[in-house]
Structure 1
Amino acid sequence: MASVDDCRQALHDLAARLDSHADQVRDRVDLDRTLACRVSDLDTAFHGRLTDGRLIDLGDGDDPQAKVVLTTTSDDLVALVHGKLDVPKALAAGRVSIKANPFDLLKLRKLL
């Protein structure tokens, strides 16, 4: 099982990767939403904001008002971020849950 620090680092790695491609997706992904990432096996959560193709303001703790909520296990979160787990397959298998309005889900697909 991955640790809380491993999950935090994975999210920071994801933020860095999104940041490096933000100029390419900014015009295609018009999204400004709060994000909560809930790690079920560690009973912990992280929050941030998706805006302009970037993941910013990452911090520890849940955001119960988040517009986009990702729920998964620690190992699956780390595997997703590092490209070892395919997002559509993980969603289909129930290993990852993403709650957002349908229009936001369509926009999120462009980031994945």
Structure 2
Amino acid sequence: MADTEECRTALERLSRNLAQANGNVREAASVDRSLSCWLTDLDLTFTGTLRGGRIEDLEHTPGAPAEKAAIRLTMASDDLVALVGGRLNFASAWAGGRVRLEAGFRDLLRLRTLL
């Protein structure tokens, strides 16, 4: 099980990767939406804002998300680290139930470019 700092580092790396992306990926990530990532094994939620292709204002709190973010991810801490590290394919993890993504229909269409 990954710890809180490993998960924060993974989310910060994801933010850097999004900021450095080009083309369709950069465009898909250039939304202004609230974001939450609930790590079920740690019972910890990271929240922030996806803005201009970066994750900003990243914070963590114990428990499930207190508020409903526009883009919501749910997974285990090891899966987050593996996804960002390129060792786990998002589509496979999502299809297998290891990762859950919830968002509005328009956001899902836009985010599919990232997946």
Please give the TM-score of this superposition, normalised by the length of structure 2.
0.86
Unmatched segments (≥5 aa) in structure 2: none
2:25–2:114 CA contact under 8 A, matched in 1? no
Cα distance in 2 for residues equivalent to 1:19 and 1:48: 15
Q: Number of paired residues?
A: 111
Identity %: 43
Q: Is residue 75 of structure 1 aligned with residue 74 of structure 2? A: no
Cα distance in 2 for residues equivalent to 1:71 and 1:56: 19
1:31–1:107 CA contact under 8 A, matched in 2? no
Runs of 4+ residues deviating >6 angstroms: none
Unmatched segments (≥5 aa) in structure 1: none
2:99 aligned partner? 96
1:36–1:48 CA contact under 8 A, matched in 2? yes
**C-alpha offsets along residues 44-86 of structure 1, whole Å, 9 cap, x if unaligned?**
0101111222222211124513111100001001000111110
1:53–1:111 CA contact under 8 A, matched in 2? no
Please give the TM-score of this superposition, normalised by the length of structure 1.
0.88
Computed over aligned residues only, the root mean square deviation of the Cα atoms, in angstroms, reads 1.8
Cα distance in 2 for residues equivalent to 1:52 and 1:17: 12
